[in-house]
Amino acid sequence: MSLASSPSLNASDVERDELEVDLLLVGAGPANLACAIHAQRLLAERGMDEATVLVIDKAEEIGHHTLSGSVMNPRGIAELFPDWRERGFPVESEVTDDALVILRGKGKHARLGGLLAPPQLRNHGNLIVSLNRVVCWLAAQAEELGVEVYPGFAASEVLLEGERVTGVQIRDSGLAADGGRKPNFEPGMDVRSPLTVFGEGPRGHLAKGLIRRLGLDEGRNPQTFGTGVKELWEVPAERGRELVGTVLHTAGHPLGADGYGGGWIYGLDEERLSLGFVVGLDHHDAALDPHALFVRFKQHPFVAHLLEGGKVLRYGAKTIPEGGLFAMPRLSGDGFCLVGDTAGFLNASTLKGVHLAIKSGMLAAEAMVDALAAKDTSARATARYDELFESSWAFDELHRVRNWRQAFDSGLLGGMLDAGVQMISGGRGLVKRRAGHADHTTTRPLSESRMTPPVCNDGACMDKLTDVYHSGTVHEEDQPSHLLILDPSVCVDRCSEEFGNPCRHFCPAAVYEWPEEGAAEGVRISASNCVHCKTCDIADPYENIEWVVPEGGGGPKYVDM
């Protein structure tokens, strides 16, 4: 029996090949690769070398769907590989300077560096990395140990027997847009395993179905997300040299006191900058547009000056789980567990999750190998992962900032005060759990919207389609859309009226277009532009959009992101 996290795109009347492995990891991000590496080593220590560990990923090549800022706390990688430096772990630069920059009106700014910088944004000792290069390196380490790593395998459904996860089904390839079978049709295989680890990134579509079906989030806060939009820039060397190792976070313009979010600028090397903007998807404005905010951020003279004479190399977007400890679901169940961003391992106060993702993978590996060795992969056995997490430094770190993101529900100024008290008290005070909210419930009627589109009138500020070009996104065009509108009449009859169809704004890849004339026909979906950020699956006010996985290999092609 299989469980679709949404209506299935797979054919129902075909025979499928089966592949059996001992440990299956869905998604090749830092959490799952750390899990595979640690598990393979533990299996070898126990003389279980014959066990098969398989990592699958929907991207055409490992790393193509991985994107982050990224400043990394080295604690996680140092546990996974104490000799990480000697092994050649890819570091773009060590952090040598950091500051919070308040971007103000009339082109002004204030730089808060040194002791004036908020403690959670001080980054000395951390590393500026390309997460995309990091996962390629981790995948190579895993393969060296004997882990099988298969890119281009898009897991479309969870295989279940009762409440027990028994593996995943791979998406069929060769289906035409109308559902018919093309000459190259090939049914996706069933990959069976006594243990499946879901590390699909934020809002994993399989994990979403499992969490709902098994009530893994019962008694927890709803997860809350931000959408981050990023570009990689080449800048003139004389400016790039000054910024190597510099970590700047920004507040103020263009959000002001409306909503949670801010920008970043990281100096990777003498010629390249990583810059981007994140905004919380609980923003009230029905016309919230993360890409438009990013454009306005780049247009502030402080940022525009840094980009002068440069050119954009890459573009991408992803969501970030910001809800913290109280928004994390139960981490394990019968035959499975959840790791990394999929489970909400992110410290929103420091904007860091890679070290927590690696740690979650290592803890999961310990519990899963114990379960395999005991030939007991029941929920009782896998729950050891939850226990290991609760006695780890990862739990302590997240516990100290357990109410961080919720503090900002009362607005930016109240939130800063509240979060400041949390930092000063080291998390000892404010024990009481703050309630959360699902992002899609916070949108206010279109009549209250204040957002207007930016003018993209210079080389630094591109429209969405130009940026999508820089993401390298490609999908097989003739396939069923992987963006499902559950009830199209809601879009036309209700959403147009109440919210003005926010999908046309919040998607950072211009996938959803509404014709100016003839809106009654409904939305036009350019699914082939989708960069797999999952914003639409989270932010649609009626929960009317369901993201499901397209054919394996489709999506962005992030390099150095």
Distance (Å, whole) CA 194 – CA 166:
6
Per-residue string for binding with ligand SF4, 432-471, x by CB under 6 A?
----------------------------------------
DSSP secondary structure letters along 228-272: EEEEEEE--HHHHHHHTTEEEEEEETTTTTSSSEEEEEEE-SSSE
Quote the distance between the C-alpha of residue 44 and its chain's center: 32
Q: How far is the CB of 507 from ligand SF4 (least distance, A)?
A: 3
Residues 335 and 196: beta-carbon distance below 8 Å: yes
Binder among 26, 354, 394, 483 for ligand SF4 (CB under 6 A): 483
* Token couple for 313: 């190399």
How far is residue 139's CA from residue 128's CA, in Å, rounded to a whole number? 19
Residue 421: how many other CB atoms lie within 10 Å: 12
Question: Shortest Cβ distance from residue 545 to ligand SF4 (Å)?
Answer: 7
The answer to whether 536 contacts ligand SF4 (rule: CB under 6 A) is: yes
User: Radius of gyration of the chain from Cα atoms?
Assistant: 23
Q: Among the candidate windows 57-65, 167-175, 413-421, 505-513, which touches ligand SF4 by CB under 6 A? A: 505-513
H helix or E strand, kind and range, residue 464: helix 464-471
Q: Which helix (H) or strand (E) holds 405?
A: helix 404-407
Cis omega before residue 70 (within 30°)?
A: yes
Is the CB of residue 33 less than 8 Å from the CB of residue 23? no
Which one of 205, 296, 534, 557 is in contact with ligand SF4 (CB under 6 A)? 534
- Rounded to a whole number of angstroms, the minimum distance from the CB of residue 485 to ligand SF4 is 11
Counting contacts by CB under 6 A, is residue 535 touching ligand SF4?
yes
DSSP secondary structure letter of residue 392: S
Burial class of residue 457, CB neighbours in 10 A (0-12, 13-18, 19+): exposed
Q: Which of these ranges, 137-145, 341-349, 391-399, 530-538, lies near ligand SF4 under the rule CB under 6 A?
A: 530-538
Residue among 132 and 196 whose Cβ is closer to ligand SF4: 132
Q: Name the residue nearer to ligand SF4 (CB basis): 152 or 556.
A: 556
CA quadruple 130, 132, 133, 135: dihedral positive or negative? positive
Residue 389 as a binder of ligand SF4 (CB under 6 A): the answer is: no
Among 120, 547, 551, 558, indicate the residue that binds ligand SF4 (CB under 6 A): 547
Residue 507 as a binder of ligand SF4 (CB under 6 A): the answer is yes
Window contacting ligand SF4 (CB under 6 A); options: 73-81, 86-94, 339-347, 531-539: 531-539
- Contacts of ligand SF4 in 113-142 (CB under 6 A): none
Q: What is the pairing mode between strands 246-252 and 109-113? A: unpaired
Number of residues that bind ligand SF4 (CB under 6 A): 13
Determine, following the binding rule CB under 6 A, whether residue 532 of this chain makes contact with ligand SF4: yes
Q: Are 22 and 193 in contact (CB under 8 A)?
A: yes
Stretch that binds ligand SF4, among 58-66, 132-140, 351-359, 507-515 (CB under 6 A): 507-515
Q: Which is nearer to ligand SF4, 155 or 362 (CB)?
A: 155
Interface positions with ligand SF4 (CB under 6 A)? 483, 507-509, 511, 530-536, 547
